[in-house]
């Protein structure tokens, strides 16, 4: 597979059994396919006995994993490393990225706080999809920071249920559901978008709530969510500061999905 990912030609060389090959290709099916061109990043994945081996051919790293979720994670880990060399201006955030009325917003936070589930729910309310789990942000944009589309499958650890039921026959690895990007209700945004708002999400057992954050507190809370901070000036501290200065940051206490979507949409419309 020769794909264009964040503007970079990427080749995925897959020597896998049919179900695993289908799962991996489904994860990347929304990226633009290239008919020709010299790849700047090459990732190879193959089956080895009961495990998988992933190799980043621009370097010498490899990983052997026995689970399909770990296989996809390894492919994307080395892919991000390769993209970092190809596009050093990009900051990769542990975030979902969505578009609403022409501008992007990010949902960021530590694993287990429901970023992907909330992103999936918001696609039912007119928010187009840019990315899940990994948001490439271009801080070199002459405008404000822009998020670049990275529309791999949207991953769910559990089925959210009505009214946000997952599509039938959503690929499931035994650990995670992988919703193909072309099945998301509001579609895919294929253009870079200025980031207006960032929601730093935490789960709460009570009612959902939202509160604005100061620049300093926002930068402090955002910094742990930089995936490649060490590759940037001041170990990513400058990137965190720029993002907190140029966007609106909120602490989002997430609870019941429909109610949480409601307060996010109300904030976006202000």
Averaged pLDDT for residues 173-191: 93
Averaged pLDDT for residues 246-253: 96
- Give yes or no for residue 147 having a pLDDT over 90: yes
CATH fold match for the domains 2-87 and 91-268: yes
Question: Do 247 and 145 meet the contact criterion of CB atoms below 8 Å apart?
Answer: yes
Q: What is the CATH number of domain 2-87?
A: 3.40.50
Q: What percent of the chain has pLDDT over 90?
A: 74
- Of 65-79, 120-134, 145-159, 187-201, minimum mean pLDDT range: 65-79
User: pLDDT tens-digit profile of 83-118?
Assistant: 999 999 999 999 999 999 999 999 998 888 889 999
Going from N- to C-terminal start, the domains of the chain cover 2-87, 91-268
- Give yes or no for residue 187 having a pLDDT over 90: yes
Averaged pLDDT for residues 175-179: 91
Where does the chain show beta strands of DSSP type E? 2-5, 8-15, 32-33, 41-48, 51-56, 61-65, 90-93, 95-100, 103-108, 128-131, 135-138, 146-147, 154-156, 177-179, 193-203, 209-212, 248-254
> What is the reported pLDDT for 1?
92
Whole-model pTM over 0.95: no
Domain 91-268, what fold?
A: Rossmann fold (3.40.50)
> What is the reported pLDDT for 41?
94
> What is the reported pLDDT for 111?
85
Chain-centroid distance of CA 10 in Å reads: 17
User: pLDDT tens-digit profile of 52-69?
Assistant: 889 887 655 667 777 888
Q: How far apart are CA 67 and CA 173, in angstroms?
A: 8
- Give yes or no for residue 161 having a pLDDT over 90: no
- DSSP-assigned beta bridge partners for residue 97: 106, 131
Question: Do 116 and 38 meet the contact criterion of CB atoms below 8 Å apart?
Answer: no
> What is the reported pLDDT for 58?
60
């Amino acid at each position: 597979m020769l794909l264009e990912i964040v503007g970079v030609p990427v080749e995925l060389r897959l020597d896998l059994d049919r179900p695993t090959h289908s799962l991996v290709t489904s994860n990347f099916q929304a990226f633009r396919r290239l008919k020709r061109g010299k790849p700047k990043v090459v990732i190879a994945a193959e089956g080895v006995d009961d495990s998988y081996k992933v190799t980043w051919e621009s370097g010498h790293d490899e990983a052997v994993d026995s689970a399909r979720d770990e296989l996809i994670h390894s492919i994307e880990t080395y892919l991000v490393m390769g993209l970092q060399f190809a596009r050093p201006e990009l900051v990769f955030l542990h975030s979902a990225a969505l578009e609403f009325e022409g501008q992007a917003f990010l949902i960021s936070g530590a694993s287990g706080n429901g970023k992907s589930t909330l992103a999936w729910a918001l696609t039912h309310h007119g928010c187009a999809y840019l990315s899940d789990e990994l948001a490439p942000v271009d801080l070199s944009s002459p405008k404000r920071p822009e998020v670049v589309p990275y529309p791999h499958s949207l991953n769910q650890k559990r089925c959210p249920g009505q009214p946000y039921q997952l599509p039938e026959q959503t690929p499931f690895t035994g650990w995670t559901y992988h919703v193909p990007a072309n099945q998301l209700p509001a579609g895919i945004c294929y253009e870079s978008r200025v980031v207006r708002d960032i929601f730093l999400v935490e789960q709460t057992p009570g009612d959902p709530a939202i509160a604005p954050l100061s620049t300093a507190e926002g930068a402090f809370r955002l910094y742990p969510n930089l995936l490649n901070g060490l590759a940037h000036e001041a170990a990513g501290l400058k990137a965190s500061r720029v993002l907190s200065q140029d966007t609106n940051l909120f602490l989002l206490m997430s609870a019941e999905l429909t109610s949480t979507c409601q307060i996010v949409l109300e904030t976006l419309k202000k």
